[in-house]
Chain A
Amino acid sequence: MTTTATGTPGRAGTDPLVRIEGVHKFFGEHHVLRGIDMTVQPGEVSVIIGPSGSGKSTLLRCINLLETISAGRIQVREDLIGYKEVNGRLHDLSTKAIANQRREIGMVFQRFNLFPHKTALANIMEAPTQVKRQSKTAARTAALELLDRVGLAERANHYPSQLSGGQQQRVAIARALAMEPELMLFDEPTSALDPELVGDVLNVMKDLAKSGMTMIVVTHEIGFAREVGDTLTFMDGGVVVETGNPRQIIANPQHARTKEFLSRVL
C-alpha cells in the first residue's frame, strides 16, 4: 500500500537514497511509529505532512539517529543507520561510526538551534573545521559563499540573537549545507516563524531543491508541498495513510483522514 510511485525527474531507475522498512518506535509503552515503509530517490523532495503526534518528526529524527528505532531498518545509500550487520545479527555502531553517518545527513530544526555564542559565520564554520578538519581559510570562504546563497552575506558577524527568526533559520540551513550532505532533513523549519518570515526560508529551500538536493521535509506548508514536492506522504497515528504525487493528493485525497486533515489546513 505504501509503494512510492515517485515522479522524480530524470533519476528513475537508480537505487533509492533512503530506504525505510517496517520501522517501529516505542517511547516506553507509547507506540509512536507503527510500521513505516518509505523510499526516497536521489534528488527527490519528499514532503511529510500530518497532524501533531502523528510521528512525522520522530520518523525524521530516526533517520539521523537522534532517536533509535525499536524495529525495522533504515538505510541511507548502502549504510544501515545505527547498526552494522555481522552474520545476520545487528551490532550497535560505535559513537565514532554514528558521527560519521550523521555527517552525510544535514538536519534543520524547528527551533533553529544555532550556537548562540558564535557568530553566523562561526556557526557555519564549526563543523567543517572541527569535523572535516578543513583549513579556516577554506571554511571561511565556503561559509561566506553559503551565507551569500541564503542572502545573508552582510550578516556574517552577527550573533544569532541579533538575527530575526527567518534569518536564523537560513543560517541554520547554511550550517547544515557546509558539511556537503547528500540528504537534508527539515523538521518543521517554518513552524516557529512569524508568517511574513516564512517566505524567505521557503525560497532558500526551493533553490536547494532545484539544485538537486535530496530532501525530506516535515512541514505544514501545503503550498510548498504542492509546488516543490516530488512526493507527498500523509501520516497519522504512526502509520503512512497515503503517499504519492503531491498535486494529486492535495486535489483529490483518497482517504477520509487525509481529506479531513487537508480541509483543516488549507
Chain B
Amino acid sequence: MSQTAKRGSFAGPDDGVERINAVPVRHPGRWVGAAIIVLVLAITAQSLITNPRFHWDLVGTYLLDTLVVQGIGWTLILTVSSMVIAIALAIMLAFMRQSENPLFRYVSWVWVWFFRGTPVYTQLVFWGLVATLYPKIIIGVPFGPEWFSMDTQTVVNATVAAILGLGLNESAYLAEIFRAGLKSVDNGQMEAAEALGMRRSKIMWRIILPQAMRVIVPPTGNETIGMLKTTSLVLAVPFTYDLTFVTNTIANRIYQPIPLLIVAAFWYLLVTSVLMVGQFYIERHFGKGVDNLTKAPVKPAAVAAAVAHAHNPAAPADPEPAAPTSEGGTTP
C-alpha cells in the first residue's frame, strides 16, 4: 500500500516511462481506531494532570535526590557486572556444550540444570548467607596443611554476593541463548574453516560466534533489560542501595508510595531506552555482510595500488605461470 502511494507520488527520472498512479485502497477503519486512541490518551493525560494524588511536586523533588541517583548508580553496577559475568560464563558453557570432550558437555548441562532450576531469589539469599556457612576461606591441601585463609565476609560482601547471585543465575539462561545462536550457524562454515586448517577454538571465536551473534544479541538485550529490573530482588542478600530499595525507603519515610514509584519507573524506563539504543548499534555491527551491507572500509586507493603491484610481477610470466609460487614470492 505504501509502495503504491510512493510510486504514484514519486517523480521518476526523465526516461519517458509513465509511472502507474493508481488510487490507493481507502481504510476508514484506521481513522476510527486513531480517533479512539486519541480519546483514550486525552482522558489519561487529563487524569494525570488533574489528579492531585499523583503528587507531581514530590516526583520533581525526589527525581534527582542524592539517594535516588546513587540508587541508579548501584542498579547499573549490579546490572552491568552480573551481565558481564553471565555472558563470559555463557560463552564458555555454550562452547563446552558443543565440545567433543564429554566431561565438558556434562558439566555444562548440570550447571544450566541447577542454576536455571532454582529461583534467583533463593540463590541470592544463599549468597548472602555463604559467610555464615563458610566463615573462612582456606587455601591448602584437603585434610593437610593450610597455606592461606581469610574471612569470607570480607571477600563475599553484600555487593559481591548480589553480583554473584544474579550473574550465575543469568549465565544458565544466557548459555541456552548462546547455544541456540551457535547452532543457527550453517554446518558448512565449520567445514570450510576446518578445511583451511583452522583449530576448533579459533573457528568458534572467529567464524562461528561472530555469525551466531546475529541471533544471540536480540534475546541477550532482552535479558539485560530483564536484569535491570531483577536487580530489585537483591534485598534478599540483603543489599540495600539499589533504586527500588531506596525509593521504597523514601516512600515509607514520607508515607507517599505513588510519587516514588513514578520516580523509580521513570529511571528504569530511561535506562531501558538507553540500553535499546546500544542494542541497535550492536545488532548493526554483527549484521555486517548479512543485514547491513555497507561495504567494509577498505581504501580504494590501497586496493588499486595492491592490484597494480599484483599485475606487475605476474605480467611477464609466460603462459605457464609459476602460479603456486607467485603468491609466496611477493615482496611488500
A167-182 vs B, Cβ < 8 Å mask (1 yes, 0 no) = 0000010011111100
Pairwise interchain contact B324-A211, C-beta atoms closer than 8 A: yes
**B314 within 8 A of partner (CB):** yes
**B195 within 8 A of partner (CB):** yes
**A130 within 8 A of partner (CB):** yes
**A30 within 8 A of partner (CB):** no
- Identify the interface centre among A106, A157, A161: most chain B CB within 10 Å of its CB: A157
Pairwise interchain contact B288-A117, C-beta atoms closer than 8 A: yes
Stretch from B76-84, B159-167, B184-192 contacting the other chain: B184-192
**B321 within 8 A of partner (CB):** yes
Q: Give the chain A neighbours of B278 by CB distance below 8 A.
A: none
Q: Which listed residue, A102, A114, A142, A145, touches B195 by the CB 8 Å rule?
A: A102
Q: Which listed residue, B198, B289, B295, touches A99 by the CB 8 Å rule?
A: B198
The answer for the CA separation of A119 and B328 in the assembled complex, in Å, is 22
Pairwise interchain contact A161-B197, C-beta atoms closer than 8 A: no
Main secondary structure of the interface of B (DSSP, over half): helix
Pairwise interchain contact B306-A144, C-beta atoms closer than 8 A: yes
Q: Which listed residue, A117, A131, A138, A145, touches B197 by the CB 8 Å rule?
A: A131
Q: Give the chain B neighbours of A56 by CB distance below 8 A.
A: none
Pairwise interchain contact A179-B311, C-beta atoms closer than 8 A: no
**A126 within 8 A of partner (CB):** yes
Q: Give the chain A neighbours of B206 by CB distance below 8 A.
A: 126, 130
Pairwise interchain contact A138-B289, C-beta atoms closer than 8 A: no
Pairwise interchain contact A95-B324, C-beta atoms closer than 8 A: no
Pairwise interchain contact A103-B197, C-beta atoms closer than 8 A: yes
Stretch from A77-85, A147-155, A226-234 contacting the other chain: A147-155
User: Which bracket fits the contact residues of A?
Assistant: 35 or more
Q: How far apart are A77's CB and chain B's nearest CB, in angstroms?
A: 15
The answer for the CA separation of A226 and B310 in the assembled complex, in Å, is 32
Q: Give the chain A neighbours of B200 by CB distance below 8 A.
A: 95
Q: Give the chain A neighbours of B199 by CB distance below 8 A.
A: 95-96, 99
User: Which bracket fits the contact residues of B?
Assistant: 35 or more
Pairwise interchain contact A212-B197, C-beta atoms closer than 8 A: no
**A224 within 8 A of partner (CB):** no
Q: Which listed residue, B295, B307, B321, touches A211 by the CB 8 Å rule?
A: B321
Minimum CB distance partner of B292 in chain A: A159
Pairwise interchain contact A211-B323, C-beta atoms closer than 8 A: yes
Q: How far apart are A141's CB and chain B's nearest CB, in angstroms?
A: 5
Q: How far apart are A167's CB and chain B's nearest CB, in angstroms?
A: 14
Pairwise interchain contact A159-B293, C-beta atoms closer than 8 A: yes
The answer for the CA separation of A213 and B288 in the assembled complex, in Å, is 35
Known: A126-B206, A127-B197, A142-B330. A113 touches B323 (CB 8 A): no
**A100 within 8 A of partner (CB):** yes
Interface residues in chain A, defined as those with a beta carbon under 8 Å from any beta carbon in chain B: 64-66, 95-96, 99-100, 102-103, 105-107, 109, 111, 113-119, 121-122, 126-127, 130-131, 137-138, 140-142, 144-146, 148-149, 153-154, 156-162, 172, 175-180, 207-208, 210-213
Question: Can you identify 20 A-B contacts, CB atoms within 8 angstroms?
Answer: A66-B191, A66-B194, A103-B196, A107-B195, A109-B192, A113-B191, A116-B290, A117-B211, A126-B206, A126-B207, A141-B310, A141-B330, A141-B332, A144-B309, A144-B310, A145-B314, A148-B310, A179-B197, A207-B323, A213-B323
Closest 7 CB pairs of A and B: A103-B197, A211-B323, A113-B192, A159-B289, A145-B310, A157-B298, A107-B195
